[in-house]
Amino acid sequence: MPAKRDPSGAGGRRVTIADVARKAGVSRATVSRVLNGQDTVDPVLAGRVRQVSRRLGYHPSAIAQGLARGASHTIGVVVPDLANPFFPEVVKALTVAAGKDGFSVVVADSDEDPEAELRLIQDVSRRVDGLVLCSPRAGIADLRRVVRKGLPTVCTNRMVDPPLTASVMIDSGRGMQAVIRHLTELGHRRIAYLAGPSSSSSNADRLGALERSLPGAVVIPTGSKSQEGYASAAAAAEAGATAVICFNDLVAFGALARLRALGVAVPGEMSVVGFDDIPAADFVHPALTTVRLPKAELGRRSWEVLRDQLGDHGAGASVRLEPTLVVRESTGKAIGVTEDAVAIGERAGG
Amino acid sequence: MPAKRDPSGAGGRRVTIADVARKAGVSRATVSRVLNGQDTVDPVLAGRVRQVSRRLGYHPSAIAQGLARGASHTIGVVVPDLANPFFPEVVKALTVAAGKDGFSVVVADSDEDPEAELRLIQDVSRRVDGLVLCSPRAGIADLRRVVRKGLPTVCTNRMVDPPLTASVMIDSGRGMQAVIRHLTELGHRRIAYLAGPSSSSSNADRLGALERSLPGAVVIPTGSKSQEGYASAAAAAEAGATAVICFNDLVAFGALARLRALGVAVPGEMSVVGFDDIPAADFVHPALTTVRLPKAELGRRSWEVLRDQLGDHGAGASVRLEPTLVVRESTGKAIGVTEDAVAIGERAGG
DNA sequence: TTGAAAGCGCTAACAC
DNA sequence: GTGTTAGCGCTTTCAA
């Protein structure tokens, strides 16, 4: 038998628009019209087409549609780490918003690796109409090199200057200021910061705000996971801090666990603050005081800004969102500030 | 006046292979060969092509490639809820494994909504070479109707009988048995189960195992989120249970928080067990005893099983993975088993 | 209202 | 080695 495989449906061949057209006794154009909801088709034919189409189990190839239409109606979003609850929430809101406008979202996870991120960006770029870069970790120069010119793009939580893309930012610095105000009002003088990935722009913003408002703060390179918070928390205690600000809630969870293991009471002897306000922050003990970042709004606005570029405007707005401090149980009065602790701190701080 | 379609909106027409071919003075076929790493091209030409391609910022359209090649080298995975840390871990491992074989993964989140899930499945099916359904929530009949015949598919954590797809399962029942053994060895007699979504097959498996091993258990419909665990935990306490098994770790977090609010000591007065072993389980207090599901392996094996189908149109294997009980601090001796509690339990249980 | 035909951007025989 | 020529499955003029 020739190479052509059995068209009667039993074989593995994909059902195409041509199959439907043939069975229904119409042209492919008509099938296309019917299935795309154009009302310029004879109801009788339309009915027949629909029925045959259903009977054959026909589903138009999105790939072919994409090629023919010149647009895939799909956008990509690349995130550093889906396992960090911050990102799924952004992605979900983004997906819902885009979905309402008939766009699908494909998600890619770079696993906090700048190299992988660059590769993913290029890869995803080849198959989407637009791109959202969530807190990208790659260097600005690399980013600039890799973001395809002409591909509508929005970048969140990352200032790229001069802007190569539209941006939606959360003012992390403001969040940090609120934390510092809260902590100093409680009497804390010696404060440690468990810093996030050096590649994180949010981390840089927070660090900047910290050093501006509180030049003497102890900065401890940490990371973005609970494991790392657990590892770093002891150093904060040893540095004589009475309060520790964590890069994110996950890190704070780790710190909380370590402090407990160390027998350091929270908030009695040590206050702990996180960033993000992930759902679990309200369920750990003590409930975590944290800076709530508007994750859902970040997702929604990202889509809106992207959509505007998709439409026509090459411009691309620049949106800035505000975080809010959520005070729970993990912060309290700095009753632990003694001469002794300060002395230790001084020594440790150099 | 749309003279020429410009889907990218933001100005410049897309750079195509034809542009590169023209500038480089070769045919499109040659450009294609060079860029796809065929070594049958004159090195001089190849060099020129590569240079022109880079200078023009050419990136082949994955859409067009997909059409021409008859395969997109992309697979889809649909999950019930990316915000549940269980799924990102599966997805990550799956992505890594697939990536090694040159496949991209697109992720879709149904938000625990069976309707949305069905829609997503159909949508994603139109643009991928294969599909992984992670713990699908839709009914079997619907699933069967919607999964495109001939599309390689693997289904995790969901028995579909007769199998319409290959499957990779985690034996939830075994996990439940291990939990019950652990708990009864500790002396617990009155045990409550905070059940997951009724649409969850894992939940059904656990429930089945529970009712088989422990007919008198108190079952409290709950859900899959901490919020819901928080809401249900009081009922478990009121039912006189000395141990509560939670559908997943997130639910357990909620239960832990509620029990604390209620002044019920864990594990002193109440033991708490979760399922999944998400990273945070080891950092909450008390550290959560839980059934560890091999998430990464689930992802990897799913890819392997799918890949086998991608190759030939074989039936598709059926893999079964084993969970392991991880005992931490949230379970302990049932010192709270008194005549009184048993009496209350008896009454509540009917 | 419908069909024929020309692509969308790319790859893959098949010649030369 | 390299170019020519068909498509991949679909949409969309343009005629009829």
Q: Residue A98's pLDDT is what?
A: 96
Q: Residue B337's pLDDT is what?
A: 52
A85 touches B at CB < 8 Å: yes
B7 touches A at CB < 8 Å: yes
Asked if A198 and A139 count as a contact pair (C-beta separation under 8 A), the reply is: no
Q: Residue B335's pLDDT is what?
A: 76
B18 touches A at CB < 8 Å: no
Q: Which nucleotide is nearest to B33 (CA to C1')?
A: C11
Asked if A140 and A159 count as a contact pair (C-beta separation under 8 A), the reply is: no
Q: In this prediction, what percent of chain B has a pLDDT beyond 90?
A: 85
Q: What is the mean pLDDT of residues B52-63?
A: 96
Q: Residue B314's pLDDT is what?
A: 66
Q: CB under 8 Å to B270, separation ≥6 — which residues?
A: B236, B237, B241, B242, B243, B244, B259, B264, B336
A contacts of B57 (beta carbons < 8 Å): 148-149
**B118 vs B313, higher pLDDT:** B118
**Closest-CA residue to B147 (of B129, B128, B122, B126):** B122
Q: Residue B4's pLDDT is what?
A: 36
Q: Residue B12's pLDDT is what?
A: 67
Which residues of chain A register pLDDT less than 50? 1-11, 339-350
A contacts of B11 (beta carbons < 8 Å): 150, 314
Asked if B17 and B30 count as a contact pair (C-beta separation under 8 A), the reply is: no
Asked if A177 and A326 count as a contact pair (C-beta separation under 8 A), the reply is: no
Show the DSSP H helices in B269-337 as ranges: 295-311
Rounded mean pLDDT of chain B?
91
Q: What is the mean pLDDT of residues B27-52?
A: 96
What is the enclosing helix (H) or strand (E) of A321? strand A318-321
Provide, in whole angstroms, the distance separating residue A29's CA from nucleotide C5's C1'. Answer: 11
| Residue A343, CB, strand D, below 7 Å | no
A289-292 vs B130-134, strand pairing mode: unpaired
Lowest mean pLDDT among A101-115, A291-305, B149-163, B251-265: B149-163
Of B88, B230, B279, the CB nearest to A88: B88
Q: Residue B162's pLDDT is what?
A: 78
Q: What is the mean pLDDT of residues B11-39?
A: 93
- Exposure string of B240-255, with b = 16+ CB inside 10 Å and e = fewer, is bbbbbbbbbbbbbbbb
Asked if B272 and B256 count as a contact pair (C-beta separation under 8 A), the reply is: yes
Q: CB under 8 Å to A115, separation ≥6 — which residues?
A: A138
Tokens (6 digits) for B249: 């770790």
B83 touches A at CB < 8 Å: yes
Q: What is the pLDDT of residues B165-199, one digit of tens each?
A: 899 999 999 999 999 999 999 999 999 999 999 99
**Closest-CA residue to B248 (of B220, B229, B267):** B229
A contacts of B104 (beta carbons < 8 Å): 108, 123
Q: Please answer yes or no on whether A280 and B250 come within 8 Å at the CB atom.
A: yes
- C-alpha–C-alpha distance, residues B24 and B22, integer Å: 5
Q: What is the pLDDT of residues A97-129, one digit of tens each?
A: 999 999 999 899 999 999 999 999 999 999 999
Q: Residue A338's pLDDT is what?
A: 52
Give the predicted TM-score (pTM) of the model: 0.90
Residues of A 4-23 whose CB lies less than 7 Å from any atom of strand D: 14, 16-18
Mapping DSSP onto H, E and C, the string for A217-250 reads CEEEECCCCHHHHHHHHHHHHHCCCCEEEECCHH
Q: What is the pLDDT of residues B302-312, one digit of tens each?
A: 999 999 999 77
Q: Residue B341's pLDDT is what?
A: 46
Q: What is the pLDDT of residues B273-285, one digit of tens each?
A: 999 999 999 999 9
Q: Residue B211's pLDDT is what?
A: 96
Q: Residue A161's pLDDT is what?
A: 76
A199 touches B at CB < 8 Å: no
Q: Residue A314's pLDDT is what?
A: 64
Confidence band for B336, pLDDT divided at 50, 70 and 90: low
**B347 vs B201, higher pLDDT:** B201
Provide, in whole angstroms, the distance separating residue A311's CA from nucleotide D12's C1'. Answer: 21
Which residues, numbered 138 to 167 in chain B, qualify as contacts with chain A under a Cβ-Cβ cut-off of 8 Å?
Answer: 148-150
**Closest-CA residue to A31 (of A17, A44, A19):** A17
Confidence band for B339, pLDDT divided at 50, 70 and 90: very low
